[in-house]
Chain A
Amino acid sequence: MICEHCKDRQATVTVTQVVNGQKSERHYCEVCANKFHPFNIDFHKDEQIPIHQLVSNLFGLPVWNNAQEKLQATTQKITQCPQCGYTFRQFLNEGKLGCSQCYETFSNKLPQVLTKIQAGTKHIGKSPGRPTNDHTRIKKQIETTREQLLLAISEERFEDAAKLRDEIKDMERKLERGGVDAP
């Protein structure tokens, strides 16, 4: 029999795996079997365990056994980031992404992780090349001016109040014009 992995050498090792009650048998040569051998993988895992657990706890997602992942990798295609070669599993294991492209590559899977650790999945706030948060700033300004307006009215400073009222109107107009893309 020929090794299932390298399809080159003679298969001398039989790996029996039970996943969810389903038994599967694989035949490898000694070289390939060594790569998949659980003891080998355990050595690697040793140093990573704290981060592993931390990240998986943090994201609330199970971290699969590396052995399974590797076995899977040979049989089924996994989405890999074209720029840095990161896979989603790798991200879950390390808690870090490899490059900015990863955000595109995993854009359908990332939100479920982000909801666990962030306040939302949509960025609100500064964007490059745009005046910073003009919208919220104007809104705040309107609020404070309104307070001043009420104060002016209660103190019967009606000239001031008229001025403040006009200021608020101006700001509201500005907000309508500039706030098209705001949430």
Chain B
Amino acid sequence: MNLEHFLKSEAPGWMDDKGLDADIVLSTRIRLARNLEGYRYPLSFTEQEAKQIDGVVSQAVLNINNDKRIFSHFTIKEMPLLQRQVLVEKHLISPLLAKKEKSASVLLSSDETISVMINEEDHLRIQCLLPGLQLLETYELANKLDSHLEKQLPYAFNESFGYLTCCPTNVGTGLRASVMMHLPALTMSKQIKAVTQMLARFGMVVRGIYGEGSENLGNVYQISNQVTLGKSEEEIIDDLQNIVVQIIQSERGAREALLKKSKVVLEDRFNRSLGTLRYARVMTSEEAAACLSNVRLGVDVGIINDVPLSVLNECMILIQPGFVQQYAGTTLQPAERDIFRAKLLREKLNVNRQSSMEKGEEKYDV
């Protein structure tokens, strides 16, 4: 499969709107870090080692191609910067991998749910992404691939430390499970701070979706486990699942409370945001993210009825700089990006309105 397939301006497979609790949980991600015995880690290895690892791992992954998921191999060095950025924004590769100059590469499954990053911080990182809250399913997917690969690859493993990784924060299971959640009501009612503190106590971390430092852009948070050693995979996943379920409940509670207290204010806010998205001519990513979050909440609580969640999911991805530039077909200055971003959003949100009006009932299944 060629790279174009993975660059098209659509929401990736993991942003389907059919997952469980899909109104609050956008996606579930599982990452397994693995290294090969006998090679130094990417921060200290040679170009030659890098090439060998790339060769062995790619071969092993391509060997297990089945009909359902076909993997394609891409070398990072050969990709233009903009294309790398688009893959990062789609969460198919990590920002670190995108910057790599030594033989780093990625294997992507055709449905974009699995990506195997080679020579990132560790020799290989298996990543699986599914829509909604599906921790067990996503882990099973990653685990299956891992079990296939371990038959062909000499994993670096130690009885007491488990799977060995470059950073000791990953050693043991090498498992990082994260759940991306849209928590506007908890944010609005300022309860999110308490939630974050509670999470820290349980060994969990909170990040923004658009990477480090974008803490609550668009009210989307990524919650993941911190501990990888001394707990089994099942425990890690169970603990995260329990915490996420609790957060979902408190978010729902906060939504109800907000709606009861200030329905008109919220209605006004949601519709203003929708109006901004449909008619604005200049739009920064911060404003776009905030408006999309408002509209999304409006759809979730049934105040806005003519915007499908899938379109909102898509827009959340499309407002990022890489996508905006790809849409424009050229690299842009930040100010120019804001103009193209507004245009892109107008198109997405208005086209949909026309088609929904034409098709009538069909589109009202939100």
Contacts and interface: CB of A to CB of B under 8 A. Distances in A.
Interface stretch (B12-20, B64-72, B207-215, B225-233): B225-233
A119 B203 contact: yes
Given A100-B156, A118-B172, A125 B40 contact: no
A113 B168 contact: yes
B44 A133 contact: no
B87 to A, nearest CB: 24
B167 A123 contact: no
A162 to B, nearest CB: 30
Chain A CB within 10 Å, residue with most, of B43, B121, B161: B161
Interface stretch (A17-25, A27-35, A91-99): A91-99
B228 A118 contact: yes
Nearest to A58: B169
Contacts of A50: none
Nearest to B238: A140
A124 B41 contact: no
Contacts of A126: 143, 146, 173, 232-233
Report the contact-size class of chain A (Cβ under 8 Å from the partner): 20 to 34
Interface residues of B, number: 41
B160 interface: yes
Which secondary structure dominates chain B's binding surface? loop
Majority secondary structure of chain A interface residues (helix, strand, loop or mixed): loop
Contacts of B162: 123, 125, 127
A129 B160 CA distance: 16
B230 A96 contact: no
B157 interface: yes
Nearest to A113: B168
A103 interface: yes
A125 B161 CA distance: 11
Contacts of A84: 40-41, 44
A119 B231 contact: yes
B279 interface: no
Contacts of A114: 161, 168, 171, 229
Contacts of B230: 118-124
B39 interface: yes
Given A100-B35, A103-B158, A123-B172, A136 B229 contact: no
B74 interface: no
Given A118-B227, A124-B231, A126-B143, A99 B44 contact: yes
Contact of A103 (B44, B161, B226, B234): B161
Interface string B8-52: 000000000000000000000000000101111101100000000
A128 B157 contact: yes
A138 interface: no
8 contacts: A83-B40, A100-B38, A110-B161, A118-B230, A119-B227, A125-B172, A125-B173, A137-B234
